[in-house]
Chains A and B, each alone.
Chain A
Amino acid sequence: MSYEKCVRCGSCLQFCPMFDATGEEQYSPRGKAYLLQVMDQIEDDEELGKEFRRLLFQCSMCGRCEETCSSGVDLLKVWHEQRAKAVETAPEEFEYLEPLKDALANVKNIYGLAEEDRAIYWLDELEDEIPGLADRVYEKGKTAENIIFVGCLMSFRSSQIDVLRSLFKTLEKLNIDYLVMGAEENCCGHPLYLMGDEKGTLKLREHNKKVIEAAGAKQVITCCPGCLIQLREHHEFENVEALHHTQFFDRLLEDPPKYHQTEEFSYHDPCELHRILDIKTEPRSLINKMGIEFREMDLSCCGGGGLLRMTDPNLSDLIIQLRAAREKVKETTVITACPSCREQLLGQDLETKDIVELLSSSLEGGTE
């Protein structure tokens, strides 16, 4: 077990957003690795077991600990395995996750909404503005070079509509051959993966893979780093490349029109994008190509990952509040490239823009 390799040096403490927000060692990666190391001494104590299982879900799976650790502890893997074990050992403690699991099993989206409605909300909203959008929705027999994987959050939440609008407008403007998976899209399985429920994800992945391959797509593009983790790392495509939208546009555009900048920007790099998927250069390259000036925020977590919004919303809020205050971003517009981060930022009334929103307005000739 790789937690045995932890030398308890403490280097990871200061990087963990949970420790930063709570200030107590049990929330830290070292603390949890230590608990695993001394588990033989405490496992008979039911209350401690319960507390430990809860702690495993008070983590945003941001991967900062693993990045810091020089001792070769695969911390993210440890957290995944331990989460799976926790849910298996005491399912009654995770009853609050059941509706999510049921929704994913029954209607294949995290909100429990009708499967066929997956392309309804945004289509209703955007159809008039983007002529021909309805034809872009995948149906059996349709093929395209690129297929857009929208993801649950962006399919159903009105707070994401501006990003989708910009994404589609940009694709249209650049004459991209694309389809949107629409009602044929299943959740990518990331939430189940974060619970350690590997089995549950298989059916979802299988279906998505079939659709994407049937559409003859060479590239599947998503704005959501969580979906991309699943598509790139776990769908086992043979001839399809899974890309983040910033990668796709950065490759495509050598010299996009300059953005007409009137506001101050800061950039929040989503953890799953830069740390887990190792996509660091493309988002920045795209912003730079548009001539946008921005300041980098800390390479830290917004508190929106790892299911933390479900498992401990207060802690999740505290993390983003602390960061917003410390990094003085109230006066700026926070650029990001992840629907979950966007939700976190909007939740604190912070101005935020996805990179594709900036790109769309550059292509249109300036800010809206």
Chain B
Amino acid sequence: MRIRDVVIGANASMYYKLNFRKIKGVYYPRNTQEVIGAVKHAQSDGFTVTPKGGGSGLSGACTGGNDERVMISSLQMKEILTVSKDQGYVDVQPGISIDKINEFLNPMGMRFYVAPSSRDIATAAGVLSTDGGGNDTWVNGTMRDNTIRVKMVLYDGRLLTIDAKGVKSNDPDLEARLNEIGVTLHDVASSHGTLGFITEMRLLIRPVVEETLIGGLAEFSECNALGKVLTDMIERTSPVRYGEAITTAHKDVREGFDPPLLILEFPEENEVDIRDITDYKPLDSKELARMKDIRIKLPKRNPNEGVQFALFEGYGFHGDSLLNLQDSLNEVEALLNDHGMKPFGKYGHGPSKWYLGDNTPTYGLILHSREIRPEGKTGEELLDTVLAIVDKCEELGVTPKPEHKWPFSDAVKKKRLDDIRQVIGEGFNPFLLSPECNDVLGSMV
């Protein structure tokens, strides 16, 4: 065992205590050929393969579980390959971060409109594999809405190109079989590295929109009122360009603000429409920047005592669960409390959009959650809490982990991935779909 085999386990989820001896190789390829080489090594020795991007995912999917496996990092595949301003796309390698893409596009007056809070480190392929989004997903869609096509290396070294219509492959038989079962980009979105290694992506880019935006801060006495405002915004397709709710935040990091609150940015000309939905205090650009900064740092800052951790990254409140947000939250808080969890903060994108396992778009509030890391709880106990949360979500009509999906409980998505893997092979990240997944994750907490 070498130190690089250990360090590849570094990731933002609470699943980070890996059995390092099971890692049989770590690769940092620079191009497709080197990816194929790494996959061949795994295949010939019977190891599974786990792709890793920035390691900022919060579901533990980039750990590879406890299989004897080869880890392939995309962090050295970070080039911009081509860009077409006229046709509105940029071709990139999978390991480039979202920020770097926009740093490149900025001088051209173009933009890639997906903005997770982790955009400084989250990679293009990582974000597609979790179908991530950000504070503007409401307007611009999730990662799948902004991806035109991907190229992928499969476990047996064959290559696929997948877009919204279907699949192309250098193997006509494989191509036909996958098209027969209707494989499209929807399947790659949120597949958590279970299909193959993405080596190249064509992403949708658009001109930077020149519009005058203004900021506002809406404050609420409780969250049902916030839920109602978000529901109205969704019903009226309000032109909110940036919408971030904070429902609770630890006193050490909320800088004097008193949630629940909703930070908004919208076009000046829609001031009346927004006022019609909610009262708000106007924010000048400096105040707005400060609020955004407070918000973006919430998943990173720690209380004066203790350390925050992501027990269960997010909740997708929609429909009735959004309209009764406070009631839904009370139930979640009670459950967390019963399991000995101290809340740190709940905040997130709203109004927003995400896809369900059957690819239906859904609109609501994606509320991220952080707790204070409890002392003395076993991994098993923590995972039990996670599973209880998943059940609670089902009961409340809340999507568990809307940005990352919870492949471990999303039966429709799981079945679909299984079906595709019957055709392309099952060598990539199999632990996620195996019955032992929960136990494996529990052992890594």
Contact = CB atoms under 8 A, between A and B. Distances in A.
A261 interface: no
A161 B29 CA distance: 46
A8 B12 contact: yes
Interface stretch (A44-52, A88-96, A143-151, A179-187): A44-52
Contact of A7 (B4, B12, B120): B12
Given A7-B12, A9-B56, A10-B121, A26 B97 contact: no
* Chain A CB within 10 A, most for which of B12, B300, B309: B300
A26 B300 contact: no
Contact of A51 (B2, B8, B12, B300): B2
B20 A42 contact: yes
Given A5-B307, A41-B20, A70 B300 contact: yes
A69 B121 CA distance: 13
B80 interface: no
A31 B97 CA distance: 18
A56 to B, nearest CB: 11
A34 B17 CA distance: 10
A37 interface: yes
Contacts of B9: 34, 38
B75 interface: yes
A359 interface: no
A71 interface: yes
A69 B16 CA distance: 19
B7 A11 contact: no
Interface string B302-313: 100001111000
Contacts of A41: 17, 20
A342 interface: no
Contacts of B308: 7
Nearest to B10: A34
Nearest to A26: B7
A60 to B, nearest CB: 19
A35 interface: yes
Contacts of A26: 3-4, 6-7
Contacts of B2: 47-48, 51
Contact of B16 (A28, A37, A55, A70): A37
A34 B302 contact: no
A222 to B, nearest CB: 36
A38 B6 CA distance: 9
Interface in A1-48: 4-5, 7-11, 13-14, 23-26, 28, 30-31, 34-35, 37-38, 41-42, 45, 47-48
Nearest to A33: B10
A50 to B, nearest CB: 9
Contacts of A31: 7, 10
Given A8-B10, A10-B12, A41-B17, A72 B56 contact: no
Contact of A48 (B6, B8, B73): B6
Contacts of A28: 7
Contact of B3 (A13, A14, A23, A52): A52
Given A10-B121, A11-B300, A51 B3 contact: yes
Contacts of B307: 4-5, 7
A24 B30 CA distance: 12
A72 B2 CA distance: 29
5 contacts: A10-B55, A11-B300, A25-B8, A69-B300, A70-B297
Interface of B: 1-4, 6-12, 16-18, 20, 28, 54-56, 73, 75-76, 97, 118, 120-121, 297, 299-302, 307-310
Given A14-B97, A48-B2, A72-B301, 17 more contacts: A5-B302, A7-B309, A8-B10, A9-B12, A9-B299, A10-B54, A13-B121, A14-B120, A23-B76, A24-B4, A24-B7, A25-B10, A28-B7, A31-B7, A35-B6, A38-B16, A51-B3
Interface of A: 4-5, 7-11, 13-14, 23-26, 28, 30-31, 34-35, 37-38, 41-42, 45, 47-48, 51-52, 55, 69-72
